[in-house]
Amino acid sequence: MDIQKIKAAIRNVPDFPIPGIQFKDLTTVFKDAELLKELGDGLYDQFKGMGITKVVGIESRGFIMGPILATKLDAGFVTLRKPGKLPAETYCETYDKEYGTDTIEIHRDAIEEDDIVLIHDDLLATGGTMLAAQKLVERFNPKKVIISCIVELEFLEGRKLFDGTTPVETLIKF
């Protein structure tokens, strides 16, 4: 996988969604068939052989590579959604992010104790969303949890929120 080629294709959008935020837009990678395939293959290579049984994608951009990765890993796909979007009983977690607070939910029957879970999103910034996702997944007491993001904004130090017992894997660092 050509990380530099993928990194170069990521669009920077200044002042989105609010002034002062430099948004890393991966849709410019996803729209390119060659880069999308390369990214899917690269993520698969990173996690194959780990026995992953569920990939949890965070709304909304985690819904793009998450199912691709789940299919390649022969794993199920679970959605973490914004409140009111899931039709059955849910657990929810509220968290802080760079520009406010938010809440995510997961179905109460989404994960089993014998699952090895990969939580996937496009970006790790301050870490609030991913930490909330980890807390939700850990309610199920799975065998193992692994965190995966395509991009990490190192200067925001989101990785520091994690205690070191859960692997945090990112492909591209800014």
Does residue 6 belong to any structural domain of this protein?
Answer: no
Domain that holds residue 141: 51-173
Q: List residues with catalytic annotation.
A: 61, 98
Burial class (CB in 10 A: 0-12, 13-18, 19+), 144: middle
- Reported as a pLDDT band with limits 50, 70 and 90, residue 132 is very high
Does residue 124 belong to any structural domain of this protein?
Answer: yes
Name the domain count of the chain: 1
SS3 content of the chain, % helix, strand, coil (to 5): 30, 35, 35
CA dist., res. 139 & res. 111, Å (int): 9
Does residue 7 belong to any structural domain of this protein?
Answer: no
CA dist., res. 10 & res. 123, Å (int): 12
With 0.85 as the threshold, say if the pTM is over it. Answer: yes
CB neighbours of residue 164 within 10 Å: 8
CATH number (domain holding residue 79): 3.40.50.2020
Summarised one tens digit per residue, pLDDT across range 67-108 is: 999 999 999 999 999 999 999 999 999 998 767 789 999 999
